[in-house]
Amino acid sequence: MTKPIHQRHVYLKMKDRAEALDLFLSRFDLGGVLAEESVPTETALDRVTAEPIFARASSPSFHCAAMDGYAVLARRTYGAHPDRPVRLEIGREAVPINTGQLLPPDADSVVMIENVVADGREAILVEKPAPPWQHVRKVGEDLVKSELILPSNHLIGPYDVGALIAGGVFHVPVKARPRVTIIPTGSELITPERARAQKPQPGQIVEFNGRILAGLVARAGAAPLVHEPVPDDYETILTVLGRAAAGPADVVIVNAGASAGSRDYTAAAVAELGEVLVHGVTIMPGKPTVLGTIGGKPVIGLPGYPVSAVAAFESFVLPLLCGLLGVAVPQRPRLEVVPVQPLPSKLGLEELIRVKLGRVGARVVAVPLKRGAGTITSLTRADGIVRVPLMSEGLEADAPVAAELLVRPEEIEGTIVCVGSHDNTLDVLADLVHRHDPELYLSSGHVGSLGGLMAVKRGQAHLCGTHLLDPATGDYNFSYLERYLADVPLYLVNLVFRDQGFIVPPGNPKGITGVEDLARDDVTLINRQPGAGTRILLDHCLAQAGLSAAGVNGYDQVEYTHMAVAVAVLTARADVGVGILAAARALELDFVPLIQERYDLVIPAEFWELAKLRTLLNVIGSDEFKRAVVALGGYGVDQTGRVLLDPSGRR
């Protein structure tokens, strides 16, 4: 076997998603791959029928009562009238019967118990004629023996299981689940089992992509098998891949072996053992996907970043598994939404952007989540996916676009959209709001304080978080509301007071004591994005100290949340970052206090009386919320929930 030369791959012949999928699926006889097996009907949920299934018994199989009452012969009740009731002897002419019980041989109707009058203990009086087969379930009313219950290639649901049993079918012929072997690759990977036994060392990553893919495979009706992580060694990957392709698996997935990196060997291994059909598709994330075949068996190389792996799975593996099972690929419901900010994209790539969604007024707004292919939180937090077309350079803010829903539509209606400055207490608030009302969700989009005010102005948010310092007065937020939202009736509510300062590594090795230290050549800063209140605070402090931004190393290196700033310091990307005490404490970093600032919520008056906003405000004012906030450290709650400004302008 020849080891490939270490060189980076350049995608010169990428195929679009539809073309790549058609080429891939066309190479396999999907209908003839899976075996048939018989399973007990009660275990057949989510299996796919291998052949049409017919009733083996009628349901019901005997005439039975549909109501509680008396079984009678209908002709004996003819002529009954309230003035001339018909008297029937209990036990001989009127047999007591309950719902579902066998109808006596000499009866063809049921009179409900509430429609008879007792005539002593031995008879009843019927005041209205009972037509034949009244309140009776006749033989075969639901199913007749030999009637089709389910067709071939039908995904069996809970109701189907009941119908099969009712029709006398106690074993179901189903297609065997496609067997999918998942091979994670990477010398840095360790299994979750090993991580549970021993804390991962620096440079080691707990393998989780395989578990994500296994869950997606199982949800698609297939049977996953996750292989032990395979190191980045071509000969080893080649051996493991060859064994998997020659084994019982119907499909083989190699994860983290498909990219433009010089140490990713999937395409070369597939080419050596079989044939590479596609290497590179015009979707983002997911571009490096490899589609191939070994010995007539489908082999897919998925990128190592989780968002890329999921996008490629949904684009290629899911249609393959559905094709093997003979079922339609599930289609997500779509909804028209408007992005809260421009979404630029690369021309020539179809980009899938995961978003948070919420109805604000008459429109559903879409707040983009982090777009990195390795950002697993964008998978867990997303409500929908917005696709940027192949030949587009992006989407405009506030322009309608279709979103594929990842959640129930009811969740979107129950979402409170908060766009603005990041603060750790918003996570606490989101948890408590959902705990108090499971139909409510708080969605936070971190675009900075000014970005939040603009979202409110455009009617794209129920509220925004802001902490904008006015250098002229030393106060917060009021002057900015007058400048940007003078024509918007609103309330300003205090959420917290919080400690802002310098986040530094444990022990403060660079000896940071004040803003003057940021001008030192040996100090590198991690900053916040333009428009963030924290950045405005930093600029004010620099100006007071007579320092220019140009003289600060790392001034243009930015993150969008306090936690991201803290991580940058923790991982030595920077020596210092401006942020809140709670973020420093969360990652066990040191903190140099700078100022205590007021963090407020801006709520347009049109949303003030909404039930979900009232729940939010009640939670903010609760002792439960205040205790949780204080426990984070670095927060003051003396004015939490206080209205600082109302639509009349009163402070």
Task: Express each pLDDT in 582-639 by its tens digit.
Answer: 999 999 999 999 989 999 999 999 999 999 999 999 999 999 999 999 999 899 999 9
Q: Choose between 533 and 102: higher pLDDT.
A: 102
Percent of all residues in the chain with a pLDDT value above 90, rounded to a whole number = 80
pLDDT bin (cut points 50, 70, 90) of residue 333 is very high
Round to whole Å and give the CA distance between 256 and 232.
10
pLDDT score recorded for residue 264: 64
What's the Cα-to-Cα distance from 465 to each of 278, 281, 450, rounded to whole Å?
47, 40, 9
Token match 């006749």: residue? Answer: 138
Q: Considering the entire predicted model, what is its pTM?
A: 0.85
The CATH number of 334-413, from 2.40.340.10, 3.30.360.10, 3.40.50.1000, 3.40.50.2000, is 2.40.340.10
Task: Express each pLDDT in 430-469 by its tens digit.
Answer: 999 999 999 999 998 888 899 999 999 999 999 999 999 8
CATH superfamily of 64-137: Molybdopterin biosynthesis moea protein, domain 3. (2.170.190.11)
Q: Omega of the bond prior to 192 within 30 degrees of 0, cis?
A: no
Task: Express each pLDDT in 88-133 by its tens digit.
Answer: 999 999 999 999 999 999 999 999 999 999 998 899 999 999 999 9
pLDDT, mean of residues 531-555? 91
Q: Reply yes or no on whether the pLDDT at 10 is more than 60.
A: no
pLDDT score recorded for residue 111: 96
DSSP secondary-structure letter at 544? H
Torsion of CA 131, 134, 140, 142, to 10 degrees: 140
Percent of all residues in the chain with a pLDDT value above 70, rounded to a whole number = 96
Start-end of H helices in 28-89: none
pLDDT score recorded for residue 306: 92
For domain 449-645, is the CATH number 3.40.640.10? Answer: no
Task: Express each pLDDT in 45-75 by its tens digit.
Answer: 999 999 999 999 999 999 999 999 999 999 9
Amino acid identity, residue 25?
L
Round to whole Å and give the CA distance between 25 and 22.
5
Cα angle vertex 627, ends 626, 629, to 5°? 65
Sequence-ordered list of residues with C-beta below 8 angstroms from that of 564, at least 6 positions apart, any chain: none
What is the 3-state composition of the chain as percent helix, strand, coil, each rounded to the nearest 5? 30, 30, 40
Q: Reply yes or no on whether the pLDDT at 521 is more than 60.
A: yes
Q: Reply yes or no on whether the pLDDT at 16 is more than 50.
A: yes
For domain 17-31+178-325, is the CATH number 3.40.980.10? Answer: yes
Q: Reply yes or no on whether the pLDDT at 356 is more than 60.
A: yes
Average pLDDT score, the chain = 92
Token match 């939040």: residue? Answer: 452
pLDDT score recorded for residue 200: 87
What are the tokens at 220? 């698609």
Sequence-ordered list of residues with C-beta below 8 angstroms from that of 147, at least 6 positions apart, any chain: 54, 55, 167
Task: Express each pLDDT in 587-601 by its tens digit.
Answer: 999 999 998 999 999
What topology is assigned to 36-59+141-175 in CATH? Molybdopterin biosynthesis moea protein, domain 2 (3.90.105)
Q: Omega of the bond prior to 82 within 30 degrees of 0, cis?
A: no
Query: Are the beta carbons of 182 and 253 closer than 8 angstroms?
Result: yes
pLDDT bin (cut points 50, 70, 90) of residue 374 is low
pLDDT score recorded for residue 7: 46
DSSP-assigned letters across all residues of 310-348: HHHIIIIIHHHHHHHHT-PPP---EEEEEESS-EE--TT
Neighbours of 75 (CB within 10 A): 12
Round to whole Å and give the CA distance between 628 and 634.
12
| Every domain of the chain and the residues it spans | 17-31+178-325, 36-59+141-175, 64-137, 334-413, 449-645
